[in-house]
Amino acid sequence: MTTPTLRLTDASVTTATVDALVVGTVCGEDGPQLLPGNEEVNAAFDGALIDVLKVLGAKGKADEVIKVPTRRAIGAPLLIATGLGKVNGQPSGEQVRRAAGAASRALSGTSRAITTLSRVDLVAAAEGAALGCYLFTAYRSHNGDAPLGRMDLSVPSANDRVAQRDLAKAVATAEAVATARDLVNTPPNDLYPASFADRAVSLAEAAGLHTEVLDEKDLLREGYGGILGVGGGSSRPPRLVRLHHAPATPKAKVALVGKGITFDTGGISIKPAAKMEEMTMDMAGAAAVIVTAVLASQLQLPVEVIATVPMAENMPSATAYRPGDVLTMYGGTTVEVINTDAEGRLVLADALVRAAQDNPDYLIDTATLTGAQIVALGKRTSGIMGTPDFRDRVTVISQQVGEGGWAMPLPEHLRSDLDSKLADIANVAEHRWGGMLAAGVFLSEFVRDGIPWVHLDIAGPAYNTGSPWGYTGKGGTGVPVRTLAAVLADIAERG
């Protein structure tokens, strides 16, 4: 995990002894414009900073980074103008976060910088700066430039307690996201069910959480047929991890469930070879749930959080489960296996039933569940399904924190497509249309009536296979940690 040191400062940004000064620009009607709060900087350039930026081709668009040698106009030898794009009134937190991330990525190899983006939105500027610096270098024998070492965040008063509290929260959140990214980026020869469980327990116990791990013998004794079926083809047996944040006077109890398929070949219904290496990320939901439970403890949220995390490796072998098998899930429901590559919903079904036994006030699961999510919503937009009121509440929060989830329905007519000729339900529908929604309908069968429930399909947003953008590099993104954390904070405030 690589995050810079973040520090509040109320010193002059034009005289600060730093390597670079970061300012924000936006798309104006006549070209780039400086964000408000940069008057001092513009004056140091004799009011001509925008003219300089125009000569260098600046537009103020999102992800734009323009480097300007300052020639001693200010204390820093380099000025970074980072674009926010078009702004209607006040910039959004996500615009600030993304601009801060783009600037941090551009400052790789720099020891210290200062930014005025924090004058617009301190939390977003801090999160973006920290996450933009993220690098995963554990498996490189020769590293390139080191990430930015320190970012000073300009605020009216560095001693303001609200600002200090906001910065501490932003740092904790960014570190949680970075930890989730680390887990997702760890290759499957090192991250398999037993080692994943060990890492989860280590993180949780360091934060004071109660932990429980069920191994394959425990799973067999207690009847977790979905987890055992999916994990049966691997030489590395499955696990179920339970983490418990138990504050003294909780305002509500929230159950979190995350899919932890440490590698997915598709099993007997094997995937094509092309891009299969990306299936190392099929445990991103589990990573998000684990670090969110830890973050709840670190932030001392007055919400009881119980994470139930199934972990398995889906492999083809003589002991693998087959298309045509019938599995008896935890709780007794039988499932006909039509496709062994629809394994995530099987391990989640077991975990959802177990999670409901804790009688939570809310239940949230998240998973890299369906390729249909990417077809429907693309690589950056999660599909959010579940109980309508709670679904819409989570969707609004997801959009507010910049993770951009989108509410999707669970049409009742899709349930008949999951009818089985042998069992209570089949694990896939008879046709491929609406695959994301059908998977959500399947999961709903394992959620006890009366529990507000949300399912987040993060198949695309959890892993960036394209070029870096904003505060998001290649590989694991940490989605939906910030959404889950914000939902818990909202429940702590509103119930």
- Is residue 171 one of the residues assigned to a domain? no
Are 160 and 259 in contact, with CB atoms under 8 Å apart? no
Which residues, at least 6 apart from 399, have a Cβ–Cβ distance to it below 8 Å?
405
**Do the domain assignments include residue 376?**
yes
Give the domain-ending residue among 127, 159, 191.
159
Domain match, 106 and 182 both: no
Same domain, 115 and 183: no
How are the residues of the chain apportioned to helix, strand and coil, as percentages rounded to the nearest 5? Answer: 35, 20, 45
pLDDT in tens, 93-116: 999 999 999 999 999 999 999 999
Residue 172, domain member (yes or no): no
% residues pLDDT > 70 (the chain): 100
401 and 261 in a common domain: yes
Number of folded domains that form the chain:
2
pLDDT digits (tens, 9 = 90+) for 397-429: 999 999 999 999 999 999 999 999 999 999 999
CATH of the domain at 22: 3.40.220.10
When pLDDT is cut at 50, 70 and 90, the band that residue 29 belongs to is confident
Catalytic residue of the set 59, 251, 253, 271: 271
Do residue 71 and residue 203 come from a single domain? no
In a domain? residue 242: yes
pLDDT above 90: residue 430: no
With beta carbons less than 8 A apart as the criterion, state whether 206 and 249 touch: no
Angle between helices 284-298 and 161-185 (to 10 degrees): 150
Flag whether 167 is in a domain: no
Cα–Cα distance for residue pair 243/213, rounded to 1 Å:
9
pLDDT tops 80 at residue 145: no
- pLDDT on residue 1: 59
Do residue 95 and residue 237 come from a single domain? no
How many separate helices (H) and strands (E) can be counted in the chain? 14, 21
Residue 132 shares a structural domain with residue 188: no
Provide the mean pLDDT of the chain.
97
Is there a single domain that holds both residue 271 and residue 337?
yes
Q: What is the pLDDT of residue 146?
A: 87
For residue 4, pLDDT over 90 is answered with no
pLDDT in tens, 471-493: 999 999 999 999 999 999 999 99
* pLDDT category of residue 207 using cuts at 50, 70 and 90: very high
Tell me which residue of 263, 259, 346, 247 sits closest to 299, measured CA to CA: 247
Tell me, what's the pLDDT at 62?
96
Answer yes or no: 380 catalytic.
Answer: no
Strand ranges (E), 189-302: 210-214, 239-245, 253-258, 260-264
pLDDT over 80 at 144, yes or no: no
Tens digit of pLDDT for each residue in 294-327?
999 999 999 999 999 999 999 999 999 999 999 9
Task: Give the domain range for residue 481.
Answer: 177-494
CB 117 within 8 A of CB 94: no
The answer to whether residue 166 sits within a structural domain is no
Residue 345 annotated in active site: yes
- Which domain-ending residue is among 98, 129, 159? 159
**Both 211 and 124 in a single domain?**
no
Is it the case that residue 3 has pLDDT exceeding 90?
no
Supply the pLDDT for residue 18. Answer: 97
Tally Cβ neighbours within 10 Å of residue 422.
12
Which residues in 66-103 are b (16+ Cβ under 10 Å) and which e?
bebebeebbbbebbbbbbbbebeeebbbbbbbbbbbbb
Give the domain-ending residue among 132, 159, 186. 159
C-beta separation of 394 from 487 below 8 A: yes
Same domain, 139 and 181: no
* Lowest mean pLDDT segment, chosen from 85-89, 216-220, 354-358, 442-446: 85-89
Q: Is the same domain home to 247 and 306?
A: yes
The predicted-structure confidence for 220-240, as pLDDT tens digits, reads as follows 999 999 999 999 999 999 999
Which tens digit of pLDDT belongs to each residue from 361-370? 999 999 999 9
Whether 138 and 32 map to the same domain: the answer is yes
Residue 126 reports pLDDT greater than 80: yes
Residue 375 within a domain: yes
Whether 300 is in a domain gets the answer yes
99 plus 43 within the same structural domain: yes
Provide the CATH number for the domain around residue 440: 3.40.630.10
